[in-house]
Chains A and B, each alone.
Chain A
Amino acid sequence: MPPDSGLAIHIGADLLTSPRHTRWPVVRSCRDTVERTTRLAAAAGITRHHQLLGTSASRARIGHTLREAAAGLDPHGHLLVAFTGHSDREPAGPGQPPGIGWCVHDGTLPLAEVAALLSVVPPTALVTVIADTCYAAALSGFTIPATVILLAACGANQQVLANPAEGFVTRLEQLVLPGGQPSPRCTSYRWLNRQLRQDTPDVERPRVWTNRLSAWSRRPFHPVSRQHLAGPQPAAIAGRAGNQ
């Protein structure tokens, strides 16, 4: 089977069964949000989609799907991972970052595990993560070799409302695909970041984050060309230099 040039995993954790999570309010927009992220991924040229909702949004299923996607991705491919639902946070000791995880059907999926799975993606590939959850930007704290673009509903130490009238992904889709068509104004992640952050309260501010400077000037949700990562890979350059 040839490697995937584009693959998307859309997770909507709308059915939580762990005792701690069942008392929490249901995020009613999960299905709608998954449809929106699917449209965004399609605009990016991705044709293979996994939608994991309800019982399918389990730790094992998500892990298995992420693992297969990471291993099977073309070296210049694009993996999009979208998560909508609750996150949990356990404060750590002094000077230590808190333990944050996505709340899924049968428990919590630590961000450390998500990052470890994404670290298997070829370093020349592109990973887009849409995090529509509390502490959304926390994934930016992990080192992942591939180019990562994180679209976060809020900061790493912020919470978002469970059921706003207009959620983060709704706003994202309006900016990128108004009326279902690519916006001519949405030409870079720098622009998108500014727009997302406009008109938001300090306590809940979306952000775009990337681990490559060159990614800021990329056109959001535009089909990936094989040259998309023409920029140097710091580790590879260091290795070559050391061998010379």
Chain B
Amino acid sequence: MRPRARAHVLSSLAVMLYVAAPATIMLTAHETVRIDRLERSAASGVTASRHGELLPPGTNTIRLDRGTYHFRTAGDARLHVTDPDSVTMTTSNIDKCIDPPPLLPSAPDDDVLMAFAGAKGGGRPDHIPALTVTYGDAA
């Protein structure tokens, strides 16, 4: 049995943020975005809990404490990091398992070792949105 014809374009960008010290980022996207904080426990492994309120479309300033965070978008996004020494990031076009960057001098060891146990679905996106990253004081 074949499904009825329908557009099923999978467009997905997944971004991991490794925050070594409290930092501020500015995220611009044309969609509502959720930022998750990843935490590890012996009982339940790595779980993703929502960090703060949902971010409405537009530019949002987010304060992040030390830790590991994750967000996904279906469209292009811009990320501005004021302190590049405190925040490093990894992007992936598949959510299944995002490996952390191998060597991050400013990231705490525990977070570097934390690989994200990603989504409940396998398969590569049909479209990978672009992430533009800028650094410094001026957004």
Contact = CB atoms under 8 A, between A and B. Distances in A.
Interface string A126-142: 00000011110010011
A97 B3 contact: yes
B138 interface: no
B10 A89 contact: yes
B36 interface: yes
A107 B1 CA distance: 19
B95 interface: yes
B47 interface: yes
B91 to A, nearest CB: 14
A201 B34 contact: yes
Interface in A109-154: 111-113, 115-116, 119, 132-135, 138, 141-143, 153
A228 interface: no
A165 B117 CA distance: 13
B46 A87 contact: no
Contacts of B45: 25-26, 28, 163
B97 A23 contact: yes
A160 B119 contact: yes
A55 interface: no
A97 B33 contact: no
Interface of A: 20-21, 23-28, 85-91, 95-98, 103, 111-113, 115-116, 119, 132-135, 138, 141-143, 153, 156-166, 199-204
